[in-house]
Amino acid sequence: MPPSLTSFTDDALIAFDNLIDRTTGLVNPTIRFGVTGLSRSGKTVFISSLVHNLLNFGRLPLFEPVQSGRVSAVHLEPQPDDAVPRFQYEDHIRALVKERIWPESTRAVSELRVTLDYQSASGWNRLFSPGRLSIDIVDYPGEWLLDLPLLTKDFQAFSEETLALAKTGIRAELSRAWLGVTQATNAAAPADETTARELAIAFANYLKACKSDERSLSTLPPGRFLLPGDLDGSPALTFAPLVPPVDGKGQKGSLWAMMERRYEAYKSVVVKPFFREHFARLDRQIVLVDALQAINRGPEAVQDLERALTDVLFCFRPGANSFFSSLLGRRIDRVLVAATKADHLHHESHDRLEALTRRLVERAIERIGMAGAGIEVMAIASVRATREATVKRDGHTLPVIVGTPMDREAIGGESFDGNRKTAIFPGDLPENPQWLFDALEGRAPGTDLPEVSVVRFRPPELDEAGGGIKLSVPHIRLDRAMQFLFGDRLA
């Protein structure tokens, strides 16, 4: 059984928060929905499109409450947590629809409450009162989620694991400067602020290089080193893994003791408050992953994505909530892992993308020995930026996607200006996802990873319907995701 992320005191505080939430929910039924993702997976776009399609009663044939006409009204309301920044839906949807640019990525926790008035599908429930459900959307960076496993590790375990990983594959090249400084540092030497700062900066630069578009690696804790915010320069962010002293423990006043103390401070000041105040209060969760980018970047990016998913799923405890059990300890009873940007593939490969992502998740679940109940996998596009077509080439008909590449995107040496549409053949994923993993692990000699063209497209240009009514943002399977995440609460 995985070690606990919390202490008895933490559990008591979490139980108190949950009791307040549930008491409030008796008057206004609410579901807290967490949205996170791994490195440019499109969290902000997902939330913006979901809310826009709800508010505008978009094309949602698989979201039964809307398709059946049982939802009578959808509106935004003030969020319940005044100390948490509001998710700026209006700004983000303006960027998508009016300016046709992708909104800024998530850099901190934010919230948005959307409330649905609906008629229950049960005649018995309709006798009492009209139904109402508030969905509190909690948006947070995936890097913060990957910090949660640190709560189970001491500084020595964190150092040994991080140093070992940094010496593998492409990380060995990216970590060369940081490892050089680290290996030349005597952890038993007296604590020195200048040395600590140099090590922390070199470590942060290594993490940033791993996250870059050229590498697209996913397992990058501590997350605040990439998104420091107002903690930038604080002692809680001025530490780095060290080679353990010969005696295995640092003496008081040593550099090791300083780094160990700051690592524990990071967990206390940064990780635990996030866990207690936000993560432990969630009911449902979606984890967005850019599997296509990982495939495009090569074997190490795919393997690193699987490692990150293992760490992510370790944090969840999917299981059914009863009313009384949820008063003290809430469980996330549904987790959706969504492979985004399905619109970058022809629909013939959508099922393959889903199967590949499902295999990644299944292997991650096997690694941590967790039952897969309550976990679903889908391939989606929060905003569909392309349409499908066919082209004739050398007597063959090729399935292509058509869209407007972003400014300075290049395809086969041709650069685009952000205004001209083009058709591209995106490539095919293997029918059997196991073939990909065999290739990754060297069990299929002579085979290569599939070539998939990952091109960044601008958001689509939306036409106006009759009467000047704006159409809702197009998507792929967003309605199916809604049905899994919320459909049972609107029955």
Note the pLDDT of residue 327: 36
Q: How far apart are CA 163 and CA 240, in angstroms?
A: 10
pLDDT at 123: 59
Paired with 424 in beta bridges are: 401
Report d(CA 47, CA 380) in Å as an integer. Answer: 13
Find the radius of gyration of the CA atoms of the chain. 24
Q: Which of 236, 324, 283 is nearest to 19 (CA)?
A: 324
Give the integer Cα–Cα distance in Å for 354 and 335: 15
The letter for the amino acid at 350 is: H
3-state secondary structure of 391: strand
Residue 55, Cβ density class (10 Å: 0-12 exposed, 13-18 middle, ≥19 buried): middle
* pLDDT of residue 472 exceeding 50: yes
How sure is the predictor about 91, in pLDDT bands with cuts at 50, 70 and 90? very high
Residue 17 pLDDT grade (very low, low, confident, very high; cuts 50, 70, 90) = low
- Asked whether the CA dihedral 430, 435, 437, 438 is positive or negative, the reply is negative
Share of the chain above pLDDT 70, in %: 84
pLDDT over threshold 50, residue 209 = yes
**pLDDT number for residue 126:** 53
Q: Which domains does the chain have, with CATH numbers?
A: 8-140+278-384+476-490 (3.40.50.300), 149-271 (no CATH), 387-468 (no CATH)
Considering the chain, what percentage of its residues have pLDDT values greater than 90? 51
Among 166, 160, 234, which Cα is nearest to 203's? 166
Interior angle at CA 318, CA 312 and CA 321, nearest 5: 145
Residue 233: which residues within 8 A CB-CB, separation 6 or more?
Answer: none
Considering the chain, what is the average pLDDT of its residues? 84
Between residues 490 and 247, the one the model is more confident about: 490
Query: Which pLDDT score, from 0 to 100, does residue 201 have?
Result: 96
The long-range contacts involving 59-63, CB below 8 angstroms and separated by at least 24 positions, are 59/472, 59/474, 59/479, 60/478, 60/479, 60/482, 61/479, 62/477, 62/479, 62/480, 62/482, 62/483, 63/479, 63/480, 63/482, 63/483, 63/487
Say yes or no to pLDDT of 465 above 70: no
- By DSSP bridging, strand 375-379 and strand 387-393 are unpaired
DSSP assignments along 327-387, one per residue: HH-----EEEEEE--GGGS-GGGHHHHHHHHHHHHHHHHHHHT---TTEEEEE-BSS---E
Task: State pLDDT tens for residues 122-138.
Answer: 655 555 556 999 999 99
- pLDDT of 328 reads 38
**Residue of 56 and 321 predicted with greater confidence:** 56
Average confidence (pLDDT) over 91-112: 91
Backbone angles phi, psi at 333, to 5 degrees: -90, -10
Q: What is the pLDDT of residues 143-190, one digit of tens each?
A: 888 898 899 899 999 999 999 999 998 899 999 999 999 999 999 999
Compute the distance between CA of residue 462 and CA of residue 27 in angstroms, rounded to an integer. Answer: 39
Beta bridge partners of 288: 37, 338
Helix (H) or strand (E) holding 400: strand 396-403
- Residue 110 carries which DSSP code? E
Using CB atoms within 10 Å of the CB of residue 304, give its burial: 0 to 12 exposed, 13 to 18 middle, 19+ buried.
Answer: buried
User: pLDDT-derived band of residue 251, with 50, 70 and 90 as boundaries?
Assistant: confident
What are the φ/ψ torsions at residue 336 (nearest 5 degrees)?
-110, 120
pLDDT of 317 over the 70 cut: no
Which segment of 214-223, 293-302, 345-354, 435-444 scores lowest on mean pLDDT?
A: 435-444
The pLDDT value given to residue 161? 94
Residue pair 139/92 in contact by the 8 Å Cβ criterion: no
For residue 105, the number of C-alpha atoms closer than 13 Å in the C-beta half-sphere is 13
Contacts of 352 (CB under 8 A, 6+ apart): 428, 429, 430, 431, 433
| Rounded average pLDDT over 427-431 | 81
